[in-house]
């Protein structure tokens, strides 16, 4: 595994640990199945994270009747949760700065080419940043696609599948997901979209910039 992939894995683990500790801090009555559903993480993975957090002394586990368990954040866990929260906010601030600049440059270049109808592919933390930059450039958002069934609307626009988006046939497809860029590009190419109609600012390796 290269250094970038190792960094991404560590960041993902830290963020999931933060979400898990935040859920526990707000509600000690949650089961692992509840945590899995709330966080959108596989049940087995939740179990693994809980064991890891417990081994580090961040949470304690108490068994209650009928083979149920309660999870408590320890003082050490509250301290770790504060540290991870700070790190996440700092990383998000850096991500916002880089993404805002890159999207602004991208949409300015698109506008100069006379392109007006743009579609977004993928929804995550950078998609709203893309939307702000798109509106500033005076471009039209003609469609938004995401393969997650849980996301149905984005700023009033119906979220469709990538296949449905190709029917709309925008002038340009812009990949607006920080984490799924490669997969989205692959799917678009499989659906017959010309590679010249796909733009993805994550090609510039945001991790290094951040």
Strands (E), 25-152: 59-64, 68-73, 117-121, 140-145
Q: What are the tens digits of pLDDT across the range 107-148?
A: 999 999 999 999 999 998 789 999 999 999 999 999 999 987
Structure tokens at 176: 């607006």
* Cα–Cα nearest to 74, from 28, 120, 43, 36: 28
Residue in this structure with the two tokens 């678009």, named with its chain if needed:
188
Sheet of 198-199: strands edge to edge?
A: 153-154, 157-160, 140-145, 117-121, 172-175, 198-199
What is the structure's pLDDT at 64?
72
What is the structure's pLDDT at 202?
60
Low-confidence ranges of the chain (pLDDT < 70): 1-12, 65-67, 149, 179, 202-210
Statement: the pTM of the whole predicted model exceeds 0.85: no
Please say whether the beta carbons of 131 and 141 come within 8 A: yes
What is the structure's pLDDT at 60?
93
Domains (range + CATH), the chain: 3-73 (1.10.10.10), 99-209 (3.40.50.720)
Measured at the CA of 189, the angle between CA 187 and CA 190, to 5 degrees, comes to 60
């Amino acid at each position: 595994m290269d250094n970038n992939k190792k960094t991404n894995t560590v960041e993902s683990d830290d963020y999931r640990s933060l979400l898990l500790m935040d859920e526990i801090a707000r509600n000690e009555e949650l089961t692992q199945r509840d945590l899995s559903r709330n966080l959108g993480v596989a049940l087995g993975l939740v179990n693994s994270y809980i064991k890891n957090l417990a081994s580090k002394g961040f949470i304690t586990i108490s068994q209650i009747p009928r083979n149920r368990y309660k999870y408590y954040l320890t003082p050490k866990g509250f301290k770790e949760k504060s540290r991870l929260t700070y790190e996440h906010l700092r990383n998000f601030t850096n991500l916002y700065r880089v993404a805002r600049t890159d999207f602004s440059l991208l949409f300015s270049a698109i506008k100069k080419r006379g392109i007006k109808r743009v579609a977004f592919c993928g929804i995550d933390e950078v998609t709203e940043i893309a939307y702000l930059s798109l509106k500033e450039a005076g471009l039209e958002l003609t469609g938004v696609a995401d393969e997650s069934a849980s996301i149905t609307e984005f700023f009033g626009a119906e979220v469709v599948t990538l296949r449905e988006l190709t029917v709309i046939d925008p002038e340009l497809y812009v990949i607006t997901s920080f984490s799924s860029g490669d997969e989205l590009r692959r799917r678009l190419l499989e659906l017959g979209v010309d590679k010249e109609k796909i733009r993805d600012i994550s090609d510039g390796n945001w991790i290094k910039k951040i």
